[in-house]
Structure formats: C-alpha cells, structure tokens
Amino acid sequence: MIEVLSAGKSFHQGWNDTAATLDEKPGMVTTFTYDYWLDSTDVTRQHYFDLTGKSPVPVDSQYGVGNNYPVCFVS
C-alpha cells in the first residue's frame, strides 16, 4: 500500500453539464481533511468475498456484473 498525502488538497468531481449522467451530478469541489492509504493491487469482487464473506456490490450494479469486476462501495 502507498500513503497518499492528500490532507488540504482539493479536486473537482462531477459535472453540471446537461449531458452528464445522474451519478456525475452535481459537480463540486472536494477537499481532503486527511491522508489515506491506497492499495496498489486491484481487488476483485471475488477476492473481497473470499476474504470477508460479504458482497457490498448490488447484484444489479450498473458498474458491471461478475466476480472479476473491481469491488466498489467499500472503504
């Protein structure tokens, strides 16, 4: 894992354009209040389930279906 020195840094996320999809709205500036750790290896839904016994991704997820997709909705 690597430490991301993000405290006090900001970025723009989302979009307010009429062509933006619902999960891209509203556009906003987000500022980190802390540093965080980021794993350098992708974790698939299957890897996550094997480790935790849980599946945080809804079966009808719009981000793809299948055990080889990246796990999402976890922190």
pLDDT in tens, 3-25: 889 999 999 999 888 888 888 89
Q: Which residue has the higher pLDDT, 4 or 74?
A: 4
Asked if pLDDT for residue 54 goes beyond 80, the answer is: yes
| Contact of 12 with 27, CB cutoff 8 Å | yes
Sign of CA dihedral 15, 62, 55, 68: negative
Q: How far is CA 75 from CA 32, 36, 72, in A?
A: 15, 11, 9
Give the pLDDT mean for 26-35: 94
Q: Would the pLDDT of 74 be above 90?
A: no
Mean pLDDT of 26-41: 89
- At 33 the pLDDT is 95
DSSP bridge partners of 37? 3
| Claim: this prediction has a pTM higher than 0.85 | no
